[in-house]
Amino acid sequence: MEITKILVVAVCCCVFSTLVSQFKPEFSVLIQLCGVALVALLIFDCTIEIFSLTKDLTAGIQINNEYIFLLLKAVIIAVCGKVVCDVCSDCGNRAVATCVDIACRLSVLLLAFPMLKVLLGLATELIEK
């Protein structure tokens, strides 16, 4: 991941947004959203690389790749949710930010259920033996 690109885009977005907000405050939000979208695209490249590296690392291990990818998806949901919550809060929409936060938490919980089922199965096996 080229962190310098992300940092430059973020700083430019903040500077432009601040400058524009003095003259046209309604365009400041659009600049922020464009900056978030651009940074998200740059991060997306990194995410694809992480999935690829994870697949390579778990190739020789007797762990089901599905569970590791579920963990990575949960992290991605949490990060994306945090960004969207912050954007909503910056725009003055605290209620929407709270709803997004709750939706992301529930999504992560839903992702965790298959792993929880396996863990409970292992625990009952150990108890029975």
What does the alpha-carbon distance between residue 9 and residue 97 come to, in Å, rounded to a whole number? 24
Q: What is the pLDDT of residue 98?
A: 92
| Other Cβ atoms closer than 10 A to 64 | 13
What does the alpha-carbon distance between residue 91 and residue 3 come to, in Å, rounded to a whole number? 26
Q: pTM to 2 decimals?
A: 0.70
- What digits encode the pLDDT tens for the residues 43-71? 887 778 877 887 777 777 777 777 778 88
Backbone angles phi, psi at 59, to 5 degrees: -65, -40
What does the alpha-carbon distance between residue 77 and residue 105 come to, in Å, rounded to a whole number? 8
Domain positions in the chain are 1-57, 63-129
How much is the mean pLDDT over the chain? Answer: 85
Question: Dihedral of CA 86/88/25/42: which sign?
Answer: positive
